[in-house]
Structure 1
Amino acid sequence: MTVSNLVRTLPALAVAGALVVGTPAAHADNRRLNESVAVNVYTIQHHAGCDTEIQINPQLQLAAQWHANDVLRNRALDGDIGSDGSTPQVRANNAGFVGTVAETVAINPALAISGIEILNQWYYRPDYMAIMSNCANTQIGVWSENSLDRSVVVAVYGQPG
């Protein structure tokens, strides 16, 4: 599914990124939050002058899922490097993606995280903004996980090789 299709199907609230996830990881369905992150990246890319259609990629989504679970369970982690020393590129390659990747990570010390909180963490970081607005990143995988006192969102951006 293309992100532009998501733009048309998600309610305005999701596009604005104001969704809140409020259930523990064992029972959570964060699909709408994950899709709203992809929609917001699509919007940022188009504001940057990109004319490409960013695509949701299941391999990148799997790499994002692995890292989100790792960061949720390992409190010492707060960035791109996994508890096993893996990088976003290694995780994407292990998930079957061929190409170059970059990653953004949002952590909130609470049960829930909203699209606004995610964007506030990413938008004002020049390195993350450069990743999100890079027109060459034509594929994306987003995953989020929650526990009672921590929420993690990982987006992996891909440039197919």
Structure 2
Amino acid sequence: MRDRACRLALLGMTPALMVIGSVGAAPAQADNKRFNDDVVENVYTIQRKAGCPVEIRVDPRLQLAAEWHTKDVIANRHLDGDTGSDGSTPQDRANAAGYRGTVAQTMTIHPALAISGLELLKSWYYNPHYYAIMSDCRHTDIGVWSENSLDRTVVVAVYGRPSF
């Protein structure tokens, strides 16, 4: 019990609060919607500065593809890139989610409970490959998802060029 109290104190919780909060309650889940929306806004800003004439829009199918990969990376610590545990690529996941078009992906695995929007943007902005993806005016659709665990945060953005 003493070890548990120490761990809870490190997390900013008292044992009494933990007992009160845990009676009949489901485990808390972080709501990253605002963070994900901010990522979209930052990509929009990068595209505007690149001279893109069309506003990027969130596509639920790309968001689903991003969610799948984010959860896969959180669950499978050996993953560190675009390929999923089942061998799927960003294009495979987008197709499976029903998106018709060409996609590209940016992702980050940050070794902490959370990442700031500024940290994320810096890591993508100064990566030439990722910057090229974000500033590509043909990418008019986007889906962003992020997940947190106690020791890492994963953020995936899938960018789409719809085929008409």
* Residue 106 of structure 1 pairs with residue 116 of structure 2: no
* Residue 58 of structure 1 pairs with residue 60 of structure 2: yes
Letter of the 1:99 partner, please give it.
G
* Counterpart Cα distance in 2 of 1:97 and 1:65: 14
Structure 2 residue ranges without an equivalent (≥5): 1-26
Inter-CA distance 83–54: structure 2 relative to 1 (3 Å threshold): same
> Normalising to structure 1: TM-score of the pair?
0.83
* Counterpart Cα distance in 2 of 1:28 and 1:128: 26
Alpha-carbon deviation of 1:62? 0.1
* Counterpart Cα distance in 2 of 1:113 and 1:72: 15
* Counterpart Cα distance in 1 of 2:156 and 2:114: 14
* Counterpart Cα distance in 1 of 2:105 and 2:28: 25
Q: Kindly report the root-mean-square deviation, in angstroms, between the aligned alpha carbons of the 2 structures.
A: 1.0
Letter of the 2:85 partner, please give it.
S
Alpha-carbon deviation of 1:26? 5.1
Alpha-carbon deviation of 1:125? 0.7
Structure 1 residue ranges without an equivalent (≥5): 1-24
The corresponding residue for 1:78 is: 80
The corresponding residue for 1:5 is: none
Alpha-carbon deviation of 1:75? 1.1
* Counterpart Cα distance in 1 of 2:78 and 2:124: 20
The 3-state SS of whatever aligns with 2:161 is strand
Percent of pairs with identical residues:
67
The 3-state SS of whatever aligns with 2:157 is strand
The correspondence for 2:45, drawn from 43, 46, 54, is 43
The one-character-per-residue Cα deviations of 1:4-57 (angstroms, maximum 9, x if unpaired) are xxxxxxxxxxxxxxxxxxxxx951100000000000000000001111110100
Show the 5 A alignment for 1:95-134: 95-134=97-136
Number of equivalenced pairs? 137
Show the 5 A alignment for 1:121-160: 121-160=123-162
The one-character-per-residue Cα deviations of 1:106-161 (angstroms, maximum 9, x if unpaired) are 11111111101111210111110000000000000000000000100000000001
* Residue 29 of structure 1 pairs with residue 31 of structure 2: yes
The 3-state SS of whatever aligns with 1:140 is strand
* Counterpart Cα distance in 2 of 1:62 and 1:32: 17
Runs of at least 4 residues off by over 4 Å = none
Letter of the 2:39 partner, please give it.
V
Alpha-carbon deviation of 1:69? 0.4
The one-character-per-residue Cα deviations of 1:65-102 (angstroms, maximum 9, x if unpaired) are 00000111111111111111100000000000000000
> Normalising to structure 2: TM-score of the pair?
0.82
* Counterpart Cα distance in 2 of 1:77 and 1:131: 21
Say which one has the larger Rg.
2
